Structure 1
Amino acid sequence: MAADSTYMSQSVKSYPFSMSDRSALNKEEIIIKDDALTCDEHCHNWSIWVYNAKYREVFGRDGLSWAKIAFYYFAWFMLLAGIFASFVGIFMAIVDKRIPPCRGNSSAIAFDTSRPNPGLGFRPQLGVQKTLIKYRSSHRDSYGYRHGWGPYKEQLDQFLAYYTEADVQYQQQIECNGKPIDELRPQFHQGKSCRFDINMFRDRATPCVTQRNFEYDRGHPCVLLKLNKIYDWEPITYQNAAQVPEQFKTIWSSEFSNYILVECGGENDVDRDFIFEIEYYSQMNTTQIGGFHRNFYPFLNQDGYRSPLVFVYFKKIETNVLINVECRAYAQNIDNNDSIEYKRGSVHFELIVE
């Protein structure tokens, strides 16, 4: 019995929270018992777990324990970061930064079609998801500039300045007028590209110039079109009137064989009724249709490359009406799809001129 008594006294002394001796509880120890804990006991245990002044523990760990676990995780994450950085370094060393590994018919662009099919982009576009050009042309003073057509003019100025900067900064640009594509293609592989002369619009006295506010203040907006870039894609242009779509047969010219043709119009029948007259300003010597010269392709990720441009001038349209406009690019290897889900070789935007 003496041995048992000694054992019990040591047990109670070592474990003051023994279920048999509630009075031995210490306010700096966690309460453990068979019965359900009261609310005060739960709060007591929680406060002791957060900070135990007796053992100098925070969240159940003293300073040395926290230092050990912090060092372990630091070393572990540094190891993971080193492995990740080494794989990124290997990837950047073996992958060509100019030539995509998947291109042509094996590229992601050709996933839904049997071949790459470029689309069109337009400016001004005040937001990536915005396709509406809406403004009031009745205010031609400073108020109209700030709250109406001004933002559209400013974006066109900024976009055209991007072309002017390329003329100054990049020596790889070359004059391509009158040169055959077979002669230019080897130079493209050397990093050179054709220079697009932005001043040609001014030389032709086009209304689509900043001096005339791109005609936005007069209710005849100019919209800029460009063909989206696809690496190593080269257009197959129409070579005779028998190959072109029906609407181009009557205006066919031998000049058309060097261009990707561009045409805009109302997307639906009711929209076509609201567009009365359109003119196109591009490298072509006609305003009946626009075109991108084939000498600018293929795009090979050259420094200073600038896509050719086409200005679409809505010379006469209905005001105070929403007009859905669709512009399409035409070549033998550009597929035009009318489905809502797959709009290929075209671009859509809306016009409201008040």
Structure 2
Amino acid sequence: MASTEDKAASKENTSSWKDSFYNPRTGEVLGRTASSWALILLFYLVFYCFLAGMFALTMWVLLLTLDDYVPRYRDRVPFPGLAIRPNSLDIMFNKSDPLKYAPYVQHLESFLQRYNDTEQEKNEACIPGQYYDQDDDSEMSKKACRFKRGSLSLCSGLSDTNFGYHDGKPCVLLKMNRIIGLKPLGDPYINCTVKKDNPVQMHYFPSEGRFDKMYFPYYGKKAHENYVQPLVAVKLLLTKEDYNKELSVECRVEGSNLRNDDERDKFLGRVTFRIKVVE
């Protein structure tokens, strides 16, 4: 049976535990009075408002230094990379099974929608072989030159809606990444090679696989809203000897000052992809 002293001690411990949250004698909550809590909350309110104000001020000053149309620094990527469509570095399909090559065909058709005549008629009929400079234009919105998908001929998807995949002679599209102000010297064109003993014949569209100068320079996404990158289509004329083999194809931008031999960047001015057609 508990003694009177044990009961008193237990009551005192319970009272002490409760007082740590709220002490009715002093009116303290968690060890602070109401005025103390009000002062500390006011301090943190002012402190965090000050931090938010400093952040907003620095962001406002930073935004004042930026241009909506041209990046402030453009020297980190002086030369463009080379990209391939369909967007895959491993193109493998069975030419006798439409379901196997359908994703590649659908991707190409979707990608070329912006190159339809209905879209490109809105753009300018520029002079081939000349840069389309618009620096003196007072308007920030720049005009774009036409690039109709019909110029890709057999790889346009117009005469052959399967882009050659159904007969084992597939088309791939190549484009250079956009770089504001780029004006390549010389006459850039695409040259592709297959790493095998016997060369594979290829057809390039437009003629000789050239990127015409009239599509340069590029003025940025906001200023050049209707701009589309020029394309080069490569049709691989594979034969029965090439079927059921994995072929490595390397395409490079030649004939200009654009770099294509940087070992630190495998996509700078070049791209390598593998293709395998199963008969």
Q: Same fold (TM over 0.5)?
A: yes
1:320 CA displacement: 2.3
Ranges in structure 1 where 5+ consecutive residues have no aligned partner: 1-20, 31-47, 110-115, 238-258
- Alignment-derived partner of residue 160 in structure 1: 112
Q: How does 1:101-112 map to 2 (within 5 A)?
A: 101-103=72-74, 107-109=75-77
Note the alpha carbon deviations across 1:145-197, whole angstroms, 9 max, x for none. Answer: xxx212211211221113349937x95x311134743xx31378551221212
- Alignment-derived partner of residue 212 in structure 1: 161
TM-score when normalising by structure 1: 0.62
1:24 CA displacement: 7.2
- Alignment-derived partner of residue 261 in structure 2: 337
Q: 1:53 to 1:320 in 2, by over 3 A?
A: farther
Q: How does 1:143-292 map to 2 (within 5 A)?
A: 144=99, 148-164=100-116, 167=119, 173-178=123-128, 180-181=130-131, 184-186=132-134, 190=139, 191-201=142-152, 204=153, 206-209=154-157, 211-237=160-186, 259-266=187-194, 271-273=195-197, 276-282=200-206, 284=207, 289-292=208-211
- Alignment-derived partner of residue 81 in structure 1: 52
Note the alpha carbon deviations across 1:220-251, whole angstroms, 9 max, x for none. Answer: 221110011111111111xxxxxxxxxxxxxx
Note the alpha carbon deviations across 1:97-128, whole angstroms, 9 max, x for none. Answer: 2122223xxx112xxxxxx2222111111xxx
Note the alpha carbon deviations across 1:303-342, whole angstroms, 9 max, x for none. Answer: 2111110111112152222222111001331223163x33
Aligned partners of 2:232 and 2:261: how far apart in 1? 22
Aligned partners of 2:232 and 2:246: how far apart in 1? 23
1:350 pairs with 2:274: yes
SS in 2 for 1:86: helix
1:306 pairs with 2:274: no
Percent identity of equivalent pairs: 28
SS in 1 for 2:161: helix
Q: How does 1:94-133 map to 2 (within 5 A)?
A: 94-103=65-74, 107-109=75-77, 116-125=78-87, 131-133=89-91
Aligned partners of 2:165 and 2:235: how far apart in 1? 10
- Alignment-derived partner of residue 4 in structure 2: none
SS in 2 for 1:151: helix
TM-score when normalising by structure 2: 0.77
RMSD across aligned C-alpha pairs, in angstroms? 3.4
Q: How does 1:34-49 map to 2 (within 5 A)?
A: none
SS in 2 for 1:186: coil
Q: 1:279 to 1:178 in 2, by over 3 A?
A: closer
SS in 1 for 2:14: coil
Q: Please say if residues 21 and 31 of structure 2, whose CA atoms lie closer than 8 Å, have aligned partners that are also in contact.
A: no
Q: Please say if residues 208 and 222 of structure 1, whose CA atoms lie closer than 8 Å, have aligned partners that are also in contact.
A: no
Q: 1:77 to 1:219 in 2, by over 3 A?
A: farther
Q: 1:163 to 1:280 in 2, by over 3 A?
A: same
Q: Please say if residues 231 and 300 of structure 1, whose CA atoms lie closer than 8 Å, have aligned partners that are also in contact.
A: yes
* Greater relative CO, 1 or 2 (CA 8 Å, sep 6+): 2
Aligned partners of 1:133 and 1:219: how far apart in 2? 12
**Highest CA radius of gyration, 1 or 2?**
1
SS in 2 for 1:159: helix
Note the alpha carbon deviations across 1:200-228, whole angstroms, 9 max, x for none. Answer: 33xx4x14416431122322221110011
| Higher alpha-carbon deviation: 158-167 or 324-333 | 158-167
Q: Please say if residues 28 and 54 of structure 1, whose CA atoms lie closer than 8 Å, have aligned partners that are also in contact.
A: no
- Counterpart of 2:209, as a letter, is G
Q: Please say if residues 235 and 331 of structure 1, whose CA atoms lie closer than 8 Å, have aligned partners that are also in contact.
A: no
Equivalenced residue count is 258
Q: Please say if residues 227 and 307 of structure 1, whose CA atoms lie closer than 8 Å, have aligned partners that are also in contact.
A: yes
Aligned partners of 1:165 and 1:69: how far apart in 2? 68
Q: Please say if residues 129 and 213 of structure 2, whose CA atoms lie closer than 8 Å, have aligned partners that are also in contact.
A: no
SS in 1 for 2:63: helix
